[in-house]
Amino acid sequence: MKIVQGDQMPIDEEASNVRAGKLKKQVFLAGNEGTPGNFRFGLFYQTGDFYSPRHRHNFDQFRFQIEGDAGFDRNGTMLPDSIGYFPEGAYYGPQSSTGSNVVAVVQFGGPSGSGYLSQRQVNAAYEEMKKFGVFDKGVYRRNEGVTGQKNMDSFQATWEYANQRPMVYPKPQYADPILMTPAHFRWMPLPGASGVEVKTSVPSPTARSVVRVTGSRLAPVSPAEGADSSWCCPGKARSRASRRAGTPPPISRTGNRQRSRLKKPPKSSCWACLPSR
């Protein structure tokens, strides 16, 4: 199990950005490089000059808009407190913003098993590829005389260079991204847990839920395979285990899923946890 407090994590202001504009990244948790289930969870800070052409990925991602607006053209606009699910293989964008914005992002290997590039792999490929081409507004353009497709989506080009093979995009399970407004979802009681209500979005293996606990209650979590990451919202709570021990950190565990229950975080901070293998 791993726990981090977001406001104590460094912000990488020089992270390799294969898109256009300024992008700062604050990584909270990352998975195991080279595995199908690799992932990255953290905050992206984008300035008003950020731009990405219409594209798709061979991995899944969820976005939670914290500040500002993020426009995806025909796919809609993410406003603060909205959630977006961007399934592997589905085109979206072009993406742009009229001002700075902050978004919590978890990107992870999807059901196709294609995995997910680590930041180290992206950085290494990015630096090497600048020797024989340029990254131009989300498109990688090879120099004259260099073997390979002249113009290619910048992330695809980076992935292919890092893996030394062509990328095969998975067929999308969903035709388009799904943008959600949690405030419009109905709170539903969680069976067997008095005082606990839940909102569930995207009923799939990559489902995401919002849980509300009232009073001195314990929210149970059903055992499930794989990792579980959590964004801690306002409120105060402690786990049953920490109450018995009388020591922090306040964490509860059921099966392979964990939940972090901490004090209300300062602005732009979060906690997340992951099972140790």
pLDDT digits (tens, 9 = 90+) for 32-60: 999 999 999 999 998 878 889 999 999 99
For CA atoms 14, 50, 169, 202, the dihedral sign is: positive
Q: How far apart are CA 31 and CA 37, in angstroms?
A: 7
Band of the pLDDT at 235, cuts 50, 70, 90?
A: low
Phi and psi at 152, nearest 5°, equal: -150, 150
What integer pLDDT is reported at residue 98 of this predicted model? 79
Q: By C-alpha distance, which of 194, 176, 198, 195 is closest to 185?
A: 198
Give the pLDDT of residue 242.
43
Q: Are 1 and 276 in contact (CB under 8 A)?
A: yes
For the segment(s) 4-116+170-180, the CATH number from 3.40.50.1480, 2.60.120.10, 3.40.920.10, 2.40.50.140 is 2.60.120.10
Domain boundary assignment for the chain: 4-116+170-180, 119-163, 185-261
Position 231 scores a pLDDT of 54
Among 57-66, 130-139, 215-224, the minimum mean pLDDT is found in 215-224
Average pLDDT score, the chain: 79
Beta bridge partners of 85: 62, 178
- Angstrom CA distances, 257 to 6, 37, 46, 140, 220, stand at 20, 15, 31, 40, 10
Helices (H), the chain: 119-129, 154-163, 240-245
**Cα–Cα distance measured from residue 4 to residue 149, given in angstroms and rounded to the nearest whole number:** 42
Q: Which of 10-19, 52-61, 72-81 has the lowest mean pLDDT?
A: 10-19
Give the three-class secondary structure for 219: coil
In this prediction, residue 227 carries a pLDDT of 56
Check pLDDT > 50 for residue 243: no
Confidence (pLDDT) at 217? 54
